[in-house]
Chains A and B, each alone.
Chain A
Amino acid sequence: MTLAFVGGTHRTVPLALRERLAFSAEQAAEALTRFRERFPGREGVLLSTCNRVEFYAAGGEADGPPPPPDQLVSFLAECRGIDASLLTPVLAGDRDEAVVRHLFSVAAGLDSMVLGEPQIVAQVKQAWSLAQESRTSGPLTGEMFQAALRTAKRVASETAIGRERISIPSVAVADFASGVFERFDDKRVLLIGAGKMAAETLRYLRQAGARDVIIVNRTAGRAGDLAARLGARAGRFENLAAELAAADLVVSTTGATEPVVSSQLFADVELRRGGRPLVVLDLAVPRDFDPRIGQRPGVWLYSVDDLAAACNANRKSRQRELPAAVTIIDEETQRFMGDLHHRSTAPVIERLRAGWSETGEAELDRLFRRLPGLDDAARAEIRQAFDRYAAKLLHPPLASLRSESRAGPPHGLLDALKRLFDLKD
């Protein structure tokens, strides 16, 4: 065993326990330092996000195998001061190839709560960086995490698994508002209500270039607070009609039980708009805008249900990409394991080369003593011929080793080579 892993996600660990198990950056650094002291020579990387806590460990022939999963569970429990018996049933462990496959899936977002979400790549990169800073990352975890990031990039570029947006605010802005407006820097955005969803939607609008933002709320104080926080202006709720007439895009998220903008109110507003198109993202439940307003020409009204339906369609679209992503994970896992197994043959290959080289040098010495008349050029030619001959003879066994490594550790072939060529450990 060279690789081990233990971890739990939102699917297996209850929220209350996940909160206790989560590591801050400082806590993770401390845990890695403790790991280095507890398991000297072994490699370790701790990945802790809001939805998962995972520990990856690796070990080589020289320093011994990595701690098995049950020891890693105890280690995590100890680091966070949790009873290990609470963690054992909810944390899963694995070894070798399964560890690689799991990490590649995690990095590609296939194991995320939101399939294909891209933030996990940065989190995996951070976890690896922290391990490097804490000097617990080594050649094995280094290569594994590099391969994981490469795999994530392949999945992102060769499949559309992360392309479709699936959060309501992002779909509202990128798929619908952007379908109506080419640019947002010359548009006026009106936020009705000061809810969390409004702030989240505004974040996406800001990214799209929106600058002129005005917030109105029944409670003027809350509008003022949110406006100050988001760099917007606060308006008066009593001026709602005038603000609607001036707005190009409205995001409404009030908690009102009756529509805030009735069909009649909008009919008055419409006359003052001069035919300009209006996008309304009605994210409130119950709805803030009378649905009949959406039938007016030049008005593009989207309710939470409309946006949720689009999100679901996008989610299904991501699911359809899953088989292609899994194929890439399989390919990359096989390639990584093949390289890993081939690395284990390096000492035998080294000894084989050294043995042949030693024998070759001895024969060359003997030959050059018996042919003292050879000049330097002739000697160099003969030496090169010996080297080429040795390389050609070694090629078939080395190629067989590489080929065998793809299927697993080539123990049988290595033993055979050791016995055939009398290679001592």
Chain B
Amino acid sequence: MIEFVSGISVVCFAASYAVALACEASRLLFRSGVRGAAMIAFALAGLVAHTLFLVWRATTEQAVPLSSAFDWYLLAAWLLAGGYLWLTIANPRTPVGLFMLPVVLGLIGAAQISSQAPFPQSPATQIWGAIHGIFNLAASVAVAIGALAGALWLIQADRLARKQPPLRSFRLPSLERLAHTTDRTLTIAAWTAAAGFLSGIVLNAVNRQRGLLETVPWTDPVVLRMAGLVAWLVTAAVAARVASRTADGPRTSARLSLISFVVLTASILWGVLGTTRHGVPPEHPATVHATDHHAVEQEATP
């Protein structure tokens, strides 16, 4: 069993998700009685392998989720894959995988080119680091789900405006449900992203107080992009709330959700490809607090 679990690689579950995505895409081409079962089987196999992989890393490499950029992306992908499986089982005729699985694969791809080195942690910063990472993760997942709902809203609205009846085995959710999801995720994304940013500030303040940092890196590209992302998400949530009082509100929310996803993707790419000191141990720590003199405090986001 241990040998089997240790043999699971990123390729295993990425391939399963890719096959599930191919099954989803085949909805556009032909009908099949077994496709639904095959799709769920591959997605489930991928999710099980994905789970075992994360558990294996956590137990053998002390890489608890969110402890490295690699794990952070994989955990985000795992959450979205779980959401995809749940939505597909609950609504088998809705092609959510066409939109969600590429994001899952994209996050896995981002993980592959990210550092697997764990963020250095210490008891003093572990809690704030975890809070920071969880809020940022929640914000990212909310943005991805909101973008999915927004994209489906625009497609469904376009079909209804063109008086097209729903396609067989390709039924989209109602506009009401999609608009509700879009609004809700925009709000959640704004709150969690803001909370993630604020917890990051607290984390840096704690680091500085303990002498691990000389100055807070306000001009670091990651800090800047996070600030920009938070500013955008808060603006989008407020704009969506204002627009909800108008007849065009759901369309505005859908567009804002999609833009939010683009902003998030750009932000992640910037983080993956850019140069940053974020999440990297300081080379010359300042005076180290007596209880933490071996520790180097870091944040837990990529």
Beta-carbon nearest neighbor of A248 in chain B? B176
Expressed in whole angstroms, the Cα–Cα distance for A180 and B161 within the complex equals 11
Expressed in whole angstroms, the Cα–Cα distance for A223 and B247 within the complex equals 30
Q: Which residues of A contact B175 (CB under 8 A)?
A: 179-181, 277
Measuring CB to CB, which residues of chain B are less than 8 angstroms from any residue of chain A?
A: 31, 33, 156, 159-161, 163-166, 168, 172-177, 180, 244-251
Known: A179-B175, A297-B247. A309 touches B163 (CB 8 A): yes
Contact A181 B176 (CB under 8 A): yes
Stretch at the interface among A92-100, A143-151, A157-165, A375-383: A157-165
User: Scoring A residues 67 to 109 as 1 if CB is less than 8 Å from chain B, else 0, what string do you get?
Assistant: 0000000000000000000000000000000000000000000
A176, A273, A302, A306: the one within 8 Å of B247 (CB): A273
A/B interface sample: 17 pairs, CB < 8 A: A160-B31, A160-B168, A179-B159, A179-B160, A179-B166, A181-B176, A182-B173, A182-B176, A270-B247, A273-B247, A275-B247, A275-B249, A277-B247, A297-B248, A298-B248, A310-B163, A310-B165
Q: Which residues of A contact B248 (CB under 8 A)?
A: 275, 297-298
Query: How many residues of A sit at the interface, in one of the four size bands?
Result: 20 to 34
Beta-carbon nearest neighbor of B171 in chain A? A179
Contact A314 B165 (CB under 8 A): yes
Q: Which residues of B contact A302 (CB under 8 A)?
A: 163
Q: Which residues of B contact A276 (CB under 8 A)?
A: 247
Contact B246 A275 (CB under 8 A): yes
Contact B168 A297 (CB under 8 A): no
Contact A275 B245 (CB under 8 A): yes
Contact A277 B31 (CB under 8 A): no
Instruction: Count contacts between A and B, CB distance < 8 Å.
Output: 69
Give the shortest distance, in Å, between B239 (CB) and chain A (any CB): 14
Among A163, A178, A182, A306, find the residue whose CB has the most chain B CB atoms closer than 10 A: A182
Q: Which residues of A contact B244 (CB under 8 A)?
A: 275
Q: Is A171 an interface residue (CB 8 A)?
A: yes
Given A171-B165, A176-B163, A299-B247, 19 extra CB contacts under 8 A: A164-B168, A178-B174, A179-B156, A179-B175, A180-B160, A180-B174, A182-B176, A182-B180, A274-B245, A275-B244, A275-B245, A277-B176, A277-B247, A277-B250, A296-B247, A298-B247, A302-B163, A313-B165, A314-B165
Contact B176 A310 (CB under 8 A): no
Q: Is A237 an interface residue (CB 8 A)?
A: no
Q: Which residues of B contact A310 (CB under 8 A)?
A: 163-165
Contact B174 A175 (CB under 8 A): no
Within 8 A of B (CB), among A271-323: 273-277, 296-300, 302, 306-307, 309-310, 313-314, 317
Q: Which residues of A contact B156 (CB under 8 A)?
A: 179
B160, B176, B180, B251: the one within 8 Å of A176 (CB): B160
Contact B165 A306 (CB under 8 A): no
Give the shortest distance, in Å, between B92 (CB) and chain A (any CB): 14
Contact B177 A182 (CB under 8 A): yes
Expressed in whole angstroms, the Cα–Cα distance for A270 and B245 within the complex equals 12
Give the shortest distance, in Å, between B48 (CB) and chain A (any CB): 30
B165, B176, B180, B249: the one within 8 Å of A175 (CB): B165
Expressed in whole angstroms, the Cα–Cα distance for A276 and B250 within the complex equals 10
Q: Which residues of A contact B33 (CB under 8 A)?
A: 158
Q: Which residues of B contact A306 (CB under 8 A)?
A: 163
Beta-carbon nearest neighbor of B159 in chain A? A179
Among B161, B175, B244, B251, find the residue whose CB has the most chain A CB atoms closer than 10 A: B175
Contact B247 A181 (CB under 8 A): no
Expressed in whole angstroms, the Cα–Cα distance for A310 and B156 within the complex equals 15
Q: Which residues of A contact B160 (CB under 8 A)?
A: 176, 179-180, 300
Beta-carbon nearest neighbor of B244 in chain A? A275
Q: Which residues of B contact A275 (CB under 8 A)?
A: 244-249
Within 8 A of B (CB), among A111-138: none
Give the shortest distance, in Å, between B204 (CB) and chain A (any CB): 42
Expressed in whole angstroms, the Cα–Cα distance for A275 and B177 within the complex equals 16
Expressed in whole angstroms, the Cα–Cα distance for A276 and B246 within the complex equals 8
Beta-carbon nearest neighbor of B174 in chain A? A182
Expressed in whole angstroms, the Cα–Cα distance for A106 and B175 within the complex equals 39
Known: A181-B174, A275-B247, A297-B248. A317 touches B163 (CB 8 A): no
Beta-carbon nearest neighbor of B164 in chain A? A310
User: Scoring A residues 179 to 214 as 1 if CB is less than 8 Å from chain B, else 0, what string do you get?
Assistant: 111110000000000000000000000000000000
Contact B247 A317 (CB under 8 A): no
Give the shortest distance, in Å, between B81 (CB) and chain A (any CB): 25
Beta-carbon nearest neighbor of B167 in chain A? A317
Q: Which residues of B contact A181 (CB under 8 A)?
A: 174-176
Contact A180 B176 (CB under 8 A): yes
Give the shortest distance, in Å, between A175 (CB) and chain B (any CB): 4
Q: Which residues of B contact A273 (CB under 8 A)?
A: 247
Q: Which residues of B contact A314 (CB under 8 A)?
A: 165
Known: A160-B31, A302-B163. A317 touches B168 (CB 8 A): yes
